[in-house]
Structures are given as C-alpha cells and as structure tokens.
Amino acid sequence: MDGAQKKFAWITGASFIALVLAMATVLMVFGGQKVHAQEATPTQQEVAAPKAANGMGLLGAGIAFGLAALGAGIAIASVGAAALGVISEKPKMLGQAFIFVALGEGVVIMGFAMAFVIMLNG
C-alpha cells in the first residue's frame, strides 16, 4: 500500500467508526423505553434511569457489531486477495480458500450474535 491508499483506509475507517458512534448516540438518546405515569408523577431521575440503561445497552451492541464488522472486513480484504491469487494459480485449492474466507465471515456473524444478545438483555 502506498501513502494515498493508507490515508484513504484510515479516513474510511475513522468515518465508519464515527458513523457507528453517531448512530449509537442517536439510539441512546431517542431509543429509550417509554415510561408512563400510573398514579403519581415520577421524578426526572426515575424516568431517565431506564432510558439511560437501555441507551448504554444499544451503544454496547453497536460497538460490538461495528468492531466485529470492521475486523471481518480487514480479514476478508487480505484473505480474499490471497485466495484469489491461489485459485488463479491452483484451481484445486478453491475449497481450502473458501474455508479461510468463511473464517473471516464468522467473525462478523459472532459480532451480530453478541449485539443481538446485548439488545435482548438491555
């Protein structure tokens, strides 16, 4: 990678992380549970506590999935390029190359599963 490609990669990565954090912040602020008053009007702290706890869960889920997707993208970028090179020289290595690419994909699936579990428990 030359300097321009490295700079583009860093800018893309930083933009992706900023986008994930912005989305998580929006979900944390506006995605809280609705608390309805029954007989007495609750205080502001009683209303804010479930909303903040749910928001932190959503933030954790977003970070878990975002970092897993970023790591899988980096892994698949290098493994996929190497796999294409190997397949072009030795077509019999196709199955083995798919296994290595699938290992990179497994990372994002695990990140999705963790985010799903966090969102269910949050």
CATH value at residue 11: 1.20.120.610
**Amino acid identity, position 92:** K
Instruction: Name the domain count of the chain.
Output: 1
Helix (H, G, I), strand (E, B) or coil at 43: coil
SS3 content of the chain, % helix, strand, coil (to 5): 85, 0, 15
Residue 36's pLDDT band (boundaries 50, 70, 90)? low
pLDDT in tens, 5-22: 777 777 777 777 877 777
Contact (Cβ atoms closer than 8 angstroms) between residue 53 and residue 122: yes
pLDDT in tens, 76-101: 888 888 888 999 999 899 888 888 88
**Amino acid identity, position 17:** I
Residue 37 maps to a domain: no
